[in-house]
Structure 1
Amino acid sequence: MAIFGLFGKKDNQPAPVEKDTSRAKRKEGDAKANAGNADPERLKQAQRNAARANATARKIDAIESEMSSEFRPSVMVANPDTLPLTTPTNTFPNQKQSVEKNDSPTTMTAPSALPTMAVTTEFLLGEEGKTIFIEVGTSETEQVIEEASILFANEQNAMAEQLLAEAVHDEKLNKTTKMAWWMLFDLYQITGKQQQFESLSIEYANRFETSPPTWIDSAQSEAETAPAQRKGAVPAVAFSGKLDGSIIKMLERMQKFGESSNVLRLEFTKITDVDPVGCGLLLRSLQKLQKSGHDLILVGAAELVAKIRSILEVGRRDETEAPWLLMLELMRLLNQEKEFEEASIDYCITFEVSPPAFVAPQNKITTAADEGGAVDALSDSFLMPNTVDGKTDQLIASIGKFAASHNQVLLDCKRLTRVDFTAAGQLLSNLAPLCSSGKTIEMHNVNYLIYALFNVMGLKEIAQIVPRKL
């Protein structure tokens, strides 16, 4: 028997969701019953749709069946309290050259959607003790790095990838600079492009005759970036990359956590794409959690709704209803009744069936504005969230609360994947008063895309920025 329940509902539960195979059989039966009156082409199309629905549903069932038979409980070990992070004396031991401070700022024009501002192109911390040993290329290379960091901050991933890919293969650019390579590695990691990452690793090893960065799978990344699991901490499952059949491992972890905790934190901010099978698996998991009475903390659910909506088209019947039903379920969990009703109409038009009724969630559902970070008076560091967008009020307030009891404001960025352009400016303006009051600010484990952006924005003038180790 599959671990997760079939589409359906109990009393006080979400409206019933009919299993794809049942719907397909009903349609096939209706088609046969009306065969004498139906248009032959329309009948053939209905049969094809039913067959596709059956195939997709069987695929989802097969994945769940495999999960049921192969699942082995994993031991949950609480991580020790977060230890103080120390500043490495040489972050890049393989590099020989320390670049001197460049006092000549250059002016750069941001993308059209962003304000134009004057920025410095210095990529090192200017003060003694803050110098990072890193090989810097020509001013042309620096301009590429600045532009790519701003494109990524503005969620223009494809353009940033194209710019960096051209930079690492452009013979006209300085061959010694590694910053563009490191940024491209981080971009592939964040967007879940493992094949491109591995190909770049081979090129990197041949070019620089040194070991390239290694790919971090989602399970390892979660273990390394999750907050310290102290007593009472909420277990979290962070989905990343494409939402497809491969999420079965994450669902197994979610089930294991659910056995020992009535509250689960589900993070969707790193999902880059969705497909029908992944939607079907996640839908069943969410329904099971609702039936078992779990409270949920949803991070990035609204963004996931937008990604699902992008693959749907009103009037086009795909092989399964799962993406539509997952979108409606997420809207219901977010208590977005108006959006739910509008999407229900589109669903009804597309599949010519009655949509599920809106039922407010019975359990506690919070969106856990992730901007708040992790504040712990006993910790020596403040854990930054996965993303920082334009809404930074709560994050700034949390950092201020942490700084009130710490003279050294150490911001741990190991989970941080993206900071948008506007938010970076807000961080600069709000952290500056802390620096003026005598606090020292350090940002550790910064990925190279954000590292480049922070240098563009001038955050290095008020904080020590230490990139992550490769």
Structure 2
Amino acid sequence: MRLPAAQEAAVLYSANHVDAAIGLLRTEIKETAGKGNKQAWLMLFDLYQAASNRAAFDELSMLFTVKFEQSPPPWGESGDASADPRRAPDSRERKDLFVLKPNASGDLAGEIEKFRAFAELTGTVRLDVSKITRISAEEATLLGNALLLLRKRNLPMWFNNLVTLETLLRSNFNEKATEIERYFWLLLFELLILQGKNQEFEDMGLEYAIAFEMSPPNWETYVNSVAATQAKAAGAAKTAAAAASSHTAGPSREDHGFPLKGVISTASANQIAELNGYAANLQEVAIDTTKVLRIDFAFASAFFEVVKGIQLAGKRVIFSNLNELNAALLEAFGFNRYAILVRKKSI
């Protein structure tokens, strides 16, 4: 069954087919049945805004005013636009990024040693594992030992695309566990510790005990000191700003919840881990999508499972400030079965 035009356009945009999404919506609002579909019009405004196409936005505004006899959404131009991930990519130069991938001969072991040496030299590291498409038990052991060593030295670490590596490791799990398979489990345990995923660690520990008839590794707490300091400073700044606002302009604005930013994709593992941590002790989990540009189609199903997991833990999940594109995509994937979707007020 074909999706409604709005949801189909949202899926196209999610897959980064912007021109196709625009073409579909332009056709929709010209057809007799779709002329009055205000959602399609609002999604077109969002697409032109995301593409920074002011001319097309203004042209659509005039047509919208005539059609609906009301003011169109305003062009979202503000003084802090440069800080909005929808306007420009993160320009910070990361000198501690290490992309782990096999060398020309297919060897990963030597690259793991280079990673460890690089991390110790720079003092912080962001490890990207998106290029790893296969890993042996020996390589899993080497990587696990390197990460354990860096963790024990309290070296600040961040990670890109861990979901890809976790999926690869789990693909090596068999119904009948073998000794060589155990090394894939041990690396996955280490990755869960580094991400602070205590519940997943405990659940996997039970599976491990049954599979290998031995006790799993013990949970250990890892604190990224740089991230913790930044979070503390951000919290202090927010408190100070709220206090200043209360003296000058009355009560501070209502907290819209956990702020997701940019393109939500397999590279958003850190944001997802932080979201899970944020949700851990709350009964109502608000997720602010003001600065979300796009939810990548390839990651939408995994993101759905994250939200579903939070809701099934007995929590109420609310997405706030959704633009029409992201709202339609979430509806297409059935997020509204597990979360409340609140659109931003555009007009």
What's the TM-score once normalised by structure 1's chain length? 0.40
- Aligned pair partner of 1:207 in 67, 77, 84: 67
- Aligned pair partner of 1:401 in 237, 258, 277: 277
Once residues 214 and 182 of structure 1 are traced to their aligned partners in structure 2, the CA distance between those partners, rounded to angstroms, is 11
Once residues 187 and 410 of structure 1 are traced to their aligned partners in structure 2, the CA distance between those partners, rounded to angstroms, is 25
1:160 equivalent to 2:36? Answer no
- Aligned pair partner of 1:183 in 39, 43, 52: 43
- Alignment length, in residue pairs? 211
Counterpart for residue 259 of structure 2: 383
What is the deviation of 1:407? 1.3
What is the deviation of 1:297? 3.5
SS at match of 1:466: strand
Report the structure number with the largest CA radius of gyration. Answer: 1
Q: Deviations over 1:268-316 (max 9, x none)?
A: 16xxxxxxxxxxxxxxxxxxxxxxxxxx8459xxxxxxxxxxxxxxxxx
Counterpart for residue 308 of structure 2: 432
Counterpart for residue 417 of structure 1: 293
Question: Is the 2:97–2:125 contact (alpha carbons within 8 Å) kept by the matching residues of 1?
Answer: yes
Once residues 211 and 458 of structure 1 are traced to their aligned partners in structure 2, the CA distance between those partners, rounded to angstroms, is 31
Question: Is the 1:370–1:386 contact (alpha carbons within 8 Å) kept by the matching residues of 2?
Answer: no
What is the letter of the counterpart of residue 294 of structure 2?
Answer: R
Once residues 146 and 430 of structure 1 are traced to their aligned partners in structure 2, the CA distance between those partners, rounded to angstroms, is 21
When residues 179 and 213 of structure 1 are mapped into structure 2, their CA distance, relative to the original with a 3 A threshold, is same
Question: Is the 1:149–1:452 contact (alpha carbons within 8 Å) kept by the matching residues of 2?
Answer: yes
What is the letter of the counterpart of residue 298 of structure 2?
Answer: T
Structure ranking higher in helix proportion? 2
Q: Deviations over 1:366-418 (max 9, x none)?
A: 79879999978886610001110134433322111001122110000000010
Once residues 341 and 307 of structure 2 are traced to their aligned partners in structure 1, the CA distance between those partners, rounded to angstroms, is 13
Once residues 31 and 273 of structure 2 are traced to their aligned partners in structure 1, the CA distance between those partners, rounded to angstroms, is 44
- Aligned pair partner of 1:268 in 72, 89, 94: 89
Once residues 168 and 455 of structure 1 are traced to their aligned partners in structure 2, the CA distance between those partners, rounded to angstroms, is 20
CA RMSD of aligned residues (A): 3.6
Counterpart for residue 306 of structure 1: none
Question: Is the 2:256–2:320 contact (alpha carbons within 8 Å) kept by the matching residues of 1?
Answer: no
Once residues 320 and 160 of structure 2 are traced to their aligned partners in structure 1, the CA distance between those partners, rounded to angstroms, is 19
When residues 163 and 399 of structure 1 are mapped into structure 2, their CA distance, relative to the original with a 3 A threshold, is same
Q: Deviations over 1:224-243 (max 9, x none)?
A: xxxxxxxxxxxx57582xxx
Once residues 193 and 455 of structure 1 are traced to their aligned partners in structure 2, the CA distance between those partners, rounded to angstroms, is 26
- Counterparts of residues 316-395 of structure 1 (less than 5 Å): 381-395=257-271
SS at match of 1:219: coil
Moved over 4 A (4+): 236-239, 332-336, 361-380
SS at match of 2:261: coil
Counterpart for residue 11 of structure 2: 150
Q: Percent identity?
A: 25
SS at match of 1:268: coil
What is the deviation of 1:199? 0.3
What is the deviation of 1:335? 7.1
Q: Deviations over 1:344-379 (max 9, x none)?
A: xxxxxxxxxxxxxxxxx9998979879999978886
What's the TM-score once normalised by structure 2's chain length? 0.53
SS at match of 2:285: strand
- Counterparts of residues 442-461 of structure 1 (less than 5 Å): 442-461=318-337
SS at match of 1:416: strand
